Each structure stands twice: as structure tokens, then as C-alpha cells.
Amino acid sequence: MSKSSAFAAVDLGASSGRVILGRISKDSIHYEEIHRFENGPIARGDGLYWDIETLKNNVMEGLSKLSASDVVSIGVDSWAVDYGLLDAGGALIGGPRHYRDERNHRGVDKVKSQIDASELYGEVGLQFLPFNTVYQLAVDQSEQSHLLANSDKALMIPDLFNYWLCGARLTERTNASTSGLLNPNTKNWNLELIEKLGLPKHLLADVVSEGTYIGSVTQEVHEKTGLASDTKIVTVGSHDTASAFVAVPSTKPNSLFVSSGTWSLLGVELDEPILTEQARNSNFTNEGGVDGRIRFLKNVSGLWLLQESIRQWKAEGKLHDIPLLIEQAKLLPPRTIVDVNDARFVAPGDMPSRIQEIAREGGHWVPESEAEIVRVIFDSLAAKYVSVINELENITHKKIERIHIVGGGSQNNLLNQLIADRTNLEVFAGPVEATAIGNLVIQARAAGVLEGNLEQLRALIAKNFEVKKFTPKPTGVK
């Protein structure tokens, strides 16, 4: 077996973060979780924020556990759209807002008063979500212009951590593509749009592609973590879904890629963006993928509904055995479908009551028990997958033949089987840590340990990780 090299993936999710050590050779990929920590919104007097200092401390703690591992490089990925403001001296101003903060709706109104939705889609090709960066910057400019005036750069979350690690103020392309400010054809900032919206251009850092060496760890990081002073910082597909898509072990065309977690992101890879009115009306997005690919996909509110329901039940003193709850849901018949993308599901809160309210409004059977609510969530997600696939096929004129699900949600056997049954397609689930694996292999390719295009990387991943297959059941079979 060929000699392996060590790489570190810092993978920051909306509900948890992790530092993962990968050892990669030309024919093998191994990883282990070094440090895991919780993440989530914190409420302040004026809205929701990320606890960014705690995140930073946890990342440094995780990296310090790698000091004896001879790490070649570090790559950071995270959720999309949010950003931190740095002043000229490098200090963080205010702190990054959480994308579920209610103020974003005021930003939407501001942008809509300046540009028609159809024109905006033609300029950036981005699915409408009320928390896209463009709306967050618009409300900042409208209500806190002094913050922007005193800022040197607005760095998205992975770029902010890269800055803390090596001092580079740059923006990686795949995450920049989620901002609503990037031209999907040129793959650079849409300066004419930014000027039209009256947003400060000086805040936007230069855009770089994944696989770019941007510096080595600072002296401060070297001393704090014990990492070698020549440990490199390399950009990866810094939007976590871009990294997850790298690790989809698909070796056949016409596959639906699904990154399943707090959000479900369903889509295909294209060479060019689709900027048609049909795509806009169906609310599909053109986001940057690794190697210049376009991730043409739709965001679906995924296991967020389950996560928030569990949080609510725990707050009420109902501590459940979650696997048992899912087993109970498995025994129940499908009875009610709700729209998982209903705007009422966006903010944190009492999700079970919201599900009951929406079911009642629609004249449907209303779930009462915890298992019944879980079953409604899963049936509704599976039904949404069917709807998205139909839209995707109509827009792209491609027939979806199989589904690949990666990420934490790929472990949910009941949901996977329901998706197979409703879509009448085979579902292939895994790997679970797809985002970290995608992060690691792009670092390994940048270091020359791996070679080849995405298809060759995926073939290697398919050989190294187990994938579970779910076959559609005949009607009436449980």
C-alpha cells in the first residue's frame, strides 16, 4: 500500500462542528473524528447571532489535538450566506448574524424595491431564500451603515476562519456563489449589480477557487495549537454542500445528488447555469461546484423540522429515545403531508405545534403523538423529493435514474426507504461524513497525493466507503 499523508478538515455545520483527521494515499482514504462540538443560534437583544468565539475556540482546540500528526494542510468548510465584518486591523465587528434572524425580511423588501426578482435571478441565478447574503448586506446598509463604513472586508464563515488561521482576506468561490452577488457565468463578483444595489464594493474580498494555497498558519496559531509553522491553509469547496457533492460516490450519469442534514439539498451537476424563468419560478439555484461545475439544486427544509421538534420535546421534559421514536413512526401509516418549505418552519421554535397548525389549516388529519409528528415529517420530506425531481426533470430535460444521499441524514433508514418508495427509484445512502471527505480529497489533490477529475475522485471514494442500497417496495408492502 502506498504511503499516506495527513490532512485536517474543519467542517462547521449549522448544528454541530467537527475537526477531522484524514490520511490519504493514491488508493485509500481513512478519517477519524478528532473533536466534535455543538453549534447553534444565540439570542441577543437585537436578534440571532452565531457564537463565533466559542466556535473559534473549539476549532483551535481540535487543531491542537493534531499537533503530532504531521498535517500537510487544513481546509475549512461551513454553511452558506453568513459573514463576519473585519475592520482594517483585523478585529471582528459585531459578530456574524444567524441566517434565521427575522431582520432579513427587511433586507428582502429593500432589494425588491431596487431590482425586479426576474432581473435579479438573471444576474445571479440564485434561489430565493430570505437569508441570502445580498439581503443581509442590504439590511446592514439600511440600518447599520456605520458598521459597513468602518469595515474593511465582509468574509463568509469559512473565509473568516481561514483569515484567523493564516491572515489571508479572500473569498472562496463556491461559498461566494451562495451570496446572491456572484455572476454565475464569469464566476466573479457582479460589480454592476452590487453598484445598482448601493452596497459597498470595498467589502468584497478577491475570489479564489478551491484547491488554492493561501498561506501557512500564523505564529499565533502555531503557538496555540502546536501545529508546524509550515502547515498550509488550502481552500476547499468551502460551502459544505460543494464539498459534500465531491464525495457523492456516483459513477453513473443521471443521478440525483442529495446532501441531507439540517437542510436537504437536491440537485444535479451541470456545465453551465440555467437562468430561465422556468428555473426561477421553480426556485432552483445555480451554485458553484468544485472544478467549475454548477450545482443546480433546490434547498428543502430537511431534518431541521425533526431537530427542532426534539429540542421542543426536551424543553418540555420529554426526553425521548430517538431511535425508538423512529421505529414507532415506521409502524404508522402515511396520513398527512405538509409543505416542509412553509415559511413558518424557517425560524426556531415550537415545530410540533406549527406542524399541527398547518395540517389543521389544510383540513388534514392532525398528528398528536410524538411518533405521529415524526411520521408526518418523514412522509412530507419524501413527498417533497418527488416534487423536486419532477421539476428538475422538466427544467433540465434529464431523466433521474437513481438517488445518492450523503451526509448525516443518510443514516436515517426509514426516511431513505420512504424516499425510495415514493420516487420509485433506488436510493444509495452514504458516506455519512461526505462533507469532510470532500474537503479532504480536494486538499490531497492540491498536495499532489491524488490526481484526476471529480469522476476519478468519486470512483476512489466509492471503493473506500460502504454505501447502503434501498430498493422501492411494491405497493402495499411494509
Compute the residue count for the chain.
478
Same fold, 5-238 and 248-430+448-478: yes
Q: With left for phi above 0 and alpha for psi between -120 and 50, is residue 364 left, alpha or beta?
A: beta
Going from N- to C-terminal start, the domains of the chain cover 5-238, 248-430+448-478
> What is the CB neighbour count within 10 angstroms for residue 240?
31
Cis status, amide bond into 431, omega within 30 of 0: yes
> Cα–Cα distance between 108 and 431 in angstroms, integer?
36
**Residues 385, 419: contact at Cβ < 8 Å?**
yes
Strand partners, 294: 270, 288
Active site residue 240: yes
Q: Please give the CATH number for the structural domain made up of 248-430+448-478.
A: 3.30.420.40
**Amino acid of residue 417:** Q
- List the catalytic residue out of 11, 77, 101, 240: 240
pLDDT 10s digit of each residue in the chain, 478 long?
Answer: 478 999 999 999 988 999 999 999 999 999 999 999 999 899 998 999 999 999 999 999 999 999 989 999 999 999 999 999 999 999 999 889 999 999 999 999 999 999 999 999 999 999 999 999 999 999 999 999 999 999 999 999 999 999 999 999 999 999 999 999 999 999 999 999 999 999 999 999 999 999 999 999 999 999 999 999 999 999 999 999 999 999 999 888 899 999 999 889 999 999 999 999 999 999 999 999 999 999 999 999 899 999 999 999 999 998 778 899 999 999 999 999 999 999 999 889 999 999 999 999 999 999 999 999 999 999 999 999 999 999 999 999 999 999 999 999 999 999 999 999 999 999 999 999 999 999 999 999 999 999 999 999 999 999 999 999 999 997 644 4
Q: Is 20 helix (H, G, I), strand (E, B) or coil?
A: strand
Q: Is 97 helix (H, G, I), strand (E, B) or coil?
A: strand
The fold of the 5-238 domain, in CATH, is Nucleotidyltransferase; domain 5 (3.30.420)
Strand partners, 41: 50
Say what the pTM is.
0.93
> Cα–Cα distance between 337 and 382 in angstroms, integer?
9
> Cα–Cα distance between 214 and 211 in angstroms, integer?
9
Extended beta strands in 65-193, E state: 71-78, 83-86, 92-93, 153-156, 171-172, 182-183, 188-189
Cell output for 95: 459578530
> Cα–Cα distance between 209 and 59 in angstroms, integer?
23
Cell output for 412: 436515517
